[in-house]
């Protein structure tokens, strides 16, 4: 894409002012990633076209399909028609014959077929448009972002399959002679990795930094327990990156899909809608912030402690000493409130073992909404 096709310096799209070069990064999150389709639709309606597309796991699948020219209507049609049997088929033979040496719970063929049908054929170099697919080399224990210089002469489909291959669920993929798997293992929303040469980054997080409580997890079986553990690991890694963000201005879009499971086939339409809503909200709130620095959008919040629920464990003070302290009665106290937070702030709130810390979004002098951790929709389990 030529520079003349991109938003110019200070281009105004609706309420957001975008710099000339920016990356759009689509994170992993199982089927919650269908929210990316709604995000892309909001961008198209505003005439916003990223300089670089990047993705992890389902984000890589959608980024690659979009980079290859698949219309959003077609993408949405495919998402709505997807069924569990189209993706998950237990590898009974391997599990019986190889037992502990079986590479995965599910067969690779359904995922391979899905990827082959959706992503563009050929290599990254042949695509002719900047596309980055995030994986992890399991042998070298290293992040590999296919599409970067020196990593362009491999089939796009190979890289996307590997990026979607969550260990334990699907066998690793072979990409350019490397044994690779889901990039979410190390970086579920590779915003920093995609930021080189960019004036800003727009990152869409659908599964790593907000996760809901999941009741009766011990009764859900191996796949659910392992998936839950992977999601918690990804959350911790992503929160750390955002908390220490030192890249160009970052617009963080976080669709409200955390109440749904990783493989929630029953709620595809709603997740697409939530992606559309979140993208428009973030763009409307951004203004000219992406010409500045830091993580956006930001909002005024009030932080408070339920003293009856607080046990005085001190974890919040250890994690957020700039926000919390211990009172003389041994209960946690808030140092600064209200405070301006981005969506990357406040992770320590959800670490409280008794849920004694509460956050309210403040609109002017009025309390507008309470941020609480939702309960996961139990109907969405595998």
The C-alpha atoms of residue 135 and residue 151 are separated, in whole angstroms, by 12
Tell which wins on pLDDT, 209 or 315: 315
The token pair that represents 240 in the structure block: 């750390």
The C-alpha atoms of residue 306 and residue 314 are separated, in whole angstroms, by 14
The C-alpha atoms of residue 224 and residue 294 are separated, in whole angstroms, by 35
Q: What is the pLDDT of residue 277?
A: 97
What length does the chain have? 382
Residue 377 confidence (pLDDT) above 60 = no
| 69-87: pLDDT as tens digits | 999 999 999 999 998 888 8
Residue 241 confidence (pLDDT) above 60 = yes
The C-alpha atoms of residue 85 and residue 76 are separated, in whole angstroms, by 18
Q: What is the mean pLDDT of residues 59-64?
A: 98
Surface-to-core class of residue 99, CB atoms within 10 Å of its CB (0-12 exposed, 13-18 middle, 19+ buried): exposed
Q: What is the pLDDT of residue 212?
A: 63
Tell which wins on pLDDT, 340 or 243: 340
pLDDT band at 246 (very low <50, low <70, confident <90, very high): confident
Q: What is the pLDDT of residue 6?
A: 31
Q: What is the pLDDT of residue 14?
A: 55
Indicate the average pLDDT of the chain: 85
Residue 18 confidence (pLDDT) above 80 = yes
The token pair that represents 38 in the structure block: 């709604």
Looking at the chain, the whole-number percentage of residues with pLDDT higher than 90 is 58
Among the listed residues 148, 253, 236, 128, the one whose alpha carbon sits nearest the alpha carbon of residue 195: 148
145 CB-side CA count, 13 A: 21
Tell which wins on pLDDT, 92 or 111: 111
Q: What is the pLDDT of residue 84?
A: 84
Q: What is the mean pLDDT of residues 12-34?
A: 85
Q: What is the mean pLDDT of residues 29-50?
A: 95
Q: What is the mean pLDDT of residues 128-154?
A: 96
Lowest mean pLDDT among 11-15, 147-151, 308-312: 11-15
For 226-231, which contacts have Cβ atoms below 8 Å and span 24 or more sequence positions?
226/168, 226/169, 227/30, 227/166, 227/169, 227/262, 227/263, 227/382, 230/166, 230/184, 230/185, 231/207, 231/262
Q: What is the mean pLDDT of residues 141-157?
A: 97
Residue 207 confidence (pLDDT) above 50 = yes
Residue 265: partners with Cβ closer than 8 Å, 6 or more residues away: 31, 82, 83, 84, 380
pLDDT band at 163 (very low <50, low <70, confident <90, very high): very high
Residue 293: partners with Cβ closer than 8 Å, 6 or more residues away: 248, 249
Residue 306, SS3 per DSSP:
coil
CA 71 to the chain's CA centroid: 22
Residue given tokens 């209507």 in the structure block = 73
Would strands 178-182 and 200-204 be described as parallel, antiparallel, or unpaired? unpaired
Residue 15 confidence (pLDDT) above 60 = yes
Would strands 142-146 and 173-175 be described as parallel, antiparallel, or unpaired? unpaired
In DSSP notation, 192-235 reads: TTT-TT-SEEEEE-SSSS---B-TTGGGS-HHHHHHHHHHHHHH
For residue 18, give the H/E element and its range. strand 16-18
Q: What is the mean pLDDT of residues 371-380?
A: 46
Residue 366 confidence (pLDDT) above 60 = no
User: Longest C-alpha distance within the chain, in Å?
Assistant: 66
Distances (CA, A) of 57 to 41, 49, 225: 20, 21, 19
Residue 106 confidence (pLDDT) above 90 = no
Q: What is the pLDDT of residue 4?
A: 29
Question: What global pTM score does this model have?
Answer: 0.84
User: Is there a contact between 68 and 127 (Cβ–Cβ < 8 Å)?
Assistant: yes
């Amino acid at each position: 894409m030529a520079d003349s096709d991109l938003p110019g310096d200070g281009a105004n799209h609706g309420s957001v002012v975008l710099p000339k070069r920016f990356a759009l990064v689509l994170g992993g999150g199982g089927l919650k990633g269908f929210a990316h389709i709604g995000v892309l639709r909001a961008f198209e309606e505003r005439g916003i076209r990223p300089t670089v597309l990047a993705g992890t796991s389902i984000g890589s699948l959608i980024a690659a399909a979009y980079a290859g020219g698949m219309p959003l209507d077609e993408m949405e049609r495919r998402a709505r028609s997807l069924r569990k049997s189209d993706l998950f088929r237990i590898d009974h033979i391997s599990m019986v014959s190889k037992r502990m040496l079986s590479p995965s719970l599910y067969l690779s063929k359904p995922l391979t077929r899905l990827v082959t049908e959706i992503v563009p054929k050929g290599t990254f170099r042949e695509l002719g448009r900047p596309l980055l697919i995030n994986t992890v080399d399991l042998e070298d224990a290293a992040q590999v972002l296919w599409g970067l210089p020196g990593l362009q002469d491999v089939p796009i489909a190979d890289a996307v399959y590997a990026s979607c291959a969550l260990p334990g669920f699907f066998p690793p993929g072979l990409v350019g002679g490397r044994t690779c798997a889901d990039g979410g293992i190390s970086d579920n929303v590779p915003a920093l990795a995609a930021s080189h040469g960019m004036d800003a980054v727009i990152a869409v997080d659908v599964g790593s930094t907000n996760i809901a409580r999941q009741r009766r997890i011990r009764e859900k079986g191996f796949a659910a327990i392992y998936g839950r553990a992977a999601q918690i690991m990804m959350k911790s890694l992503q929160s750390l990156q955002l908390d220490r963000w030192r890249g160009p201005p970052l617009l963080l879009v976080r669709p409200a899909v955390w109440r749904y499971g990783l493989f929630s086939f029953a709620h595809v339409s709603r997740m697409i809608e939530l992606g559309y809503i979140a993208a428009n909200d973030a763009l409307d709130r951004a203004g000219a912030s992406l010409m500045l620095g830091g993580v956006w959008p930001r909002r005024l919040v009030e932080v408070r402690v339920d003293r009856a629920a607080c046990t005085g464990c001190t974890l919040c003070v250890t994690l957020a000493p700039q926000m919390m302290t211990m009172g003389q009665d041994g209960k946690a106290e808030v140092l600064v409130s209200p405070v301006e937070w981005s969506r990357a702030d406040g992770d320590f709130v959800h670490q409280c073992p008794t849920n004694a810390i509460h956050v309210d979004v403040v609109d002017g002098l009025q309390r507008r909404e309470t941020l609480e951790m939702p309960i996961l929709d139990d109907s969405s389990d595998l």
